[in-house]
Structure 1
C-alpha cells in the first residue's frame, strides 16, 4: 500500500507538470492569454502531494491513509483526466487496500507472578 501510494503520487506530480506545460502553451496561443488547464494542473499537483502524505500514514493509520489516497486518486482524475490515469489507478487501488485493511493489534502478553 505504501509503495503504490508513493509511486502514484510521484507519477501524479509528473502528470501535473506535463499538464501545466500544455496549459502554458494553450495560454500562449489563446486570445485571452489564460488557460483553465493550468489551474486544473495545480489542483492535480496538490492532490498528488495529498496522496504522498496518505502513503506516509499507511503504516500507522491505514484507514486514514486509504481515504486520503482514494480522495487523491479520484480528485486528480477529475482534474486532469487522462493525464492522471496511471496515478489515479494506483492511488485508488492503494486507497481501497487501506480502507479495507484489518490492522493487527499487538497484544501485550500477561505478566506472570513469580
Structure 2
C-alpha cells in the first residue's frame, strides 16, 4: 500500500482575527486621541497638536497592520515581525489609548512567529 501525504496549509485564523480586532481598536484609539487633541485645542492646552499627529500616526499604523493581518498567509515570518513592530508602535504613539490594540496586534505577531 502506498501512503499519501496531504499537505494542509495551516490556518491563520487566530492571527488574522486578533490582528483585525486589534487594528480596529487602534483606529478607534487614534480617533479618540484626535478628539482629545481637538478638545485640548479648544481649551488652548499645550502640546495638543502633537497628540493630533500621534493619533494620525496610529491610524496609519493600524491600517497597515489591518492589511498585514489579512495577508498573513503569504509570508508568516515577515508579517509576524511587522505586526510585532506595529503593536509596539501603538504603545509608543498613544500609550494608554493603545494598550488593548497594541496587545492584540502584538499577540497576533507573536503567534505568527511561533506557530508553524
Structure 2 length normalisation: TM-score? 0.81
Match of 2:59 among 37, 40, 45: 45
Give the superposed CA RMSD.
1.6
Question: In the alignment, what sits opposite 1:24?
Answer: 38
Mark the runs of 5 or more structure 1 residues left unpaired by the alignment.
103-114
Summarize the Cα distance change of 1:10–1:43 in structure 2 as closer, same or farther, 3 Å threshold: same
Give 3-state SS (helix, strand or coil) of 1:35's partner: helix
Mark the runs of 5 or more structure 2 residues left unpaired by the alignment.
1-14
Which runs of 4 or more aligned residues in structure 1 lie more than 4 Å from their structure 2 counterparts after TM superposition?
31-34
Summarize the Cα distance change of 1:84–1:3 in structure 2 as closer, same or farther, 3 Å threshold: same
Which one has a bigger Cα radius of gyration?
1
Count, aligned residues? 102
Question: In the alignment, what sits opposite 1:93?
Answer: 107
